[in-house]
Structure 1
Amino acid sequence: MSDIQGRRIAFLVTNGYEPSELTSPWDTVTDQGGEAVLVSPESDKVSSGDHSQKVDLHVAEAKAEDFDALVLPGGTKNADKIRMDQDSVNFTRAFFDANKTVASICHAAWILTEADVVKDRNMTSYPSLQTDLRNAGANWSDEELVVDGNLITSRTPDDLPAFNEAIINKLTEEN
């Protein structure tokens, strides 16, 4: 992995996220010199089980052009709630419109279907989402990691090492 000094990465979550899918990529980004910013439809903090984190920026005020990449951690509750928030959907779609890196793991791919950005994309997710993604036009496969242009996808917390490495590699490529 290489240094991503000066890169700003948005992490979009709400309550009910999978802690490891937030903290592992977050720590990887910051360890490599990037700036991690927690963006949420919540105003103060987000929590999941015993883990909570301060919100840095409300999603209604966030702009894709202020970031180099977007990371979408999973968690069933998080993913289901965030895809119903129109500001979160618009924020996510803006990264695709700008051809910026988006990394989605586990159930987070649900917001990609709401943002209507998966048609003809190769991707993976938690296996229970495969029908949703195929119905939205994606080419789904059961793999640890799928990188399709600016889109990085993985299935579960077990895939985090490959997912994290792919994020750093993609941001390094873009330097």
Structure 2
Amino acid sequence: MTKPVAIILANDFEDIELTSPKEAIEEAGYKTVIIGHEAGEEVVGKHGTKAKVGVGIGSAEPSEYSALFIPGGFSPDHLRGDVDGRYGTFAKAFMKDNKPVFAICHGPQVLIDTDDLKGRTLTAVLNVRKDLSNAGAHVKDESVVVDGNLVTSRTPDDLNDFNHAIVELLNKDYK
């Protein structure tokens, strides 16, 4: 059985940037697990979508997941505000182990905390591209950028390309 895809999430996520890729991942045959501050907690998107945290970050083990998905909105900023840096540490394990990492819009912000962006190529929403560049990444203005195990995208307008790239990578390496 394939391990589930971890989704790290906090309040104020961009609703469609969670629901559309999550649906594509699940339609491709993968289970998803939302990881947040506390198991059982309900997080709410910018437009009212509710999601239940299945696993608290304090007990989340990267080895139990096949891939990591980071939706955008303001959620990544909240995740980066974790005083113990647990979300950056969690994401770093996926980067280190060369597991697939999918991030859209503001999602790549979390990857800055991995210290693993130097020389990587990615994209994001305009207002975080400079931060990514300062972290050593090569940043492009494209709907989706695939750099090995890392798939990034800009905005909800790019979801079709992003979802396609996610499923393609999962089916290529993890079925």
TM norm structure 1: 0.93
Partner amino acid for 1:24?
S
Report the counterpart of residue 13 of structure 1 in structure 2. 9
Distance 2:128 2:4 in 1: 29
Report the counterpart of residue 91 of structure 2 in structure 1. 92
Aligned length: 170
Report the counterpart of residue 67 of structure 1 in structure 2. 65
Partner amino acid for 1:68?
S
Identity %: 38
Runs of 5+ in structure 2 lacking a partner? none
* Alignment pair present for 1:83 and 2:61: no
Distance 2:10 2:170 in 1: 24
Kindly indicate whether the alpha-carbon contact (under 8 Å) linking 2:3 and 2:64 is maintained by their aligned counterparts in 1.
Answer: no
* Alignment pair present for 1:33 and 2:32: no
Runs of 5+ in structure 1 lacking a partner? none
Partner amino acid for 1:92?
A
Report the counterpart of residue 101 of structure 2 in structure 1. 102
Alpha-carbon deviation of 1:32?
1.8
Partner amino acid for 1:34?
Y
Kindly indicate whether the alpha-carbon contact (under 8 Å) linking 2:2 and 2:66 is maintained by their aligned counterparts in 1.
Answer: no
Alpha-carbon deviation of 1:114?
1.5
Q: Which segment drifts farther, 77-86 or 147-156?
A: 77-86
- Structure 1 segments, 4+ long, off by >4 Å, are none
Alpha-carbon deviation of 1:7?
4.4
Kindly indicate whether the alpha-carbon contact (under 8 Å) linking 1:18 and 1:74 is maintained by their aligned counterparts in 2.
Answer: yes
Paired residues for 1:47-62 under 5 Å: 47-48=44-45, 49-62=47-60
Alpha-carbon deviation of 1:109?
1.0
Q: Which segment drifts farther, 143-152 or 48-57?
A: 48-57
Report the counterpart of residue 46 of structure 1 in structure 2. 43
Distance 1:159 1:68 in 2: 24
Partner amino acid for 2:80?
R
